[in-house]
Amino acid sequence: MALKSTVYKAELQLADLERAHFGDYSLTLARHPSETDERLMVRLLAFALYASESLSFGRGLSAEDEADLQDTDLTGNIERWIDVGLPDEKSIRRACGRARQVVVLSYGSRAAEIWWQQTAGKVVGQKNLSVLALMPDDALALTGLAERNMRLQCTIQDGVVWLGNEDSHVELQPRVLFSPKA
């Protein structure tokens, strides 16, 4: 018998001062049986970083050829493709061919560093790719906020993200590993 995804609900109040984007979002996240709380919360963080009315969660781990999050325009074209974790070089190139902008939000300890060392030289020519990294402690700290029903507040300013609930908060600063603007 196949295991089913676990459904998480999040009420997210967002104040992104860098993009002058403010909003309240009611989100439903399906946590794949093989997904950790850490990865689930990094996906939620990715949503907060790039939030828009048209940004949605993809099937992620359930579908290899699909983004973890994607933002599409009214014609169905993919404006932004967001992958969380350590995708292989072929997946990144394929995404860069399908979307106007591709973002990879990597996390993890030594594995993430090794992944970027091995992947960087193969993808830095992609003009529509941005790669961000979370510090290992930051990604793990996010798991403390994971609940089946979450009410979260998020403020983004000067590259710093504050994400929290009534009881606790996490302050983190995603590091830009690669950006076409850099």
- Report the C-alpha gap between 161 and 98 in whole angstroms: 29
Q: Is pLDDT above 70 for 118?
A: yes
| 26, part of any domain | yes
Determine the structural domain holding residue 76 and report its residue range: 6-178
| 151, part of any domain | yes
**Minimum mean pLDDT range among 1-10, 86-95, 147-156:** 1-10
Q: In total, how many domains does the chain have?
A: 1
Q: For residue 17, give the CATH number of its domain.
A: 3.10.640.10
Whole-structure pTM over 0.85, yes or no? Answer: yes
Q: Is pLDDT above 60 for 182?
A: no
| 110, part of any domain | yes
Question: Do the bridges between strand 149-157 and strand 160-164 make them parallel or antiparallel, or are there none, so unpaired?
Answer: antiparallel
* Chain segment 14-72, per-residue pLDDT in tens: 999 999 999 999 999 999 888 999 999 999 999 999 999 999 998 765 566 789 999 99
Place of tokens 């504050």: 162
| 1, part of any domain | no
Q: Is pLDDT above 50 for 1?
A: no
Q: Is pLDDT above 90 for 171?
A: yes
| 120, part of any domain | yes
Per-residue CA distances from 129 to 8, 27, 53, 116, 170 (Å) = 29, 26, 22, 13, 27
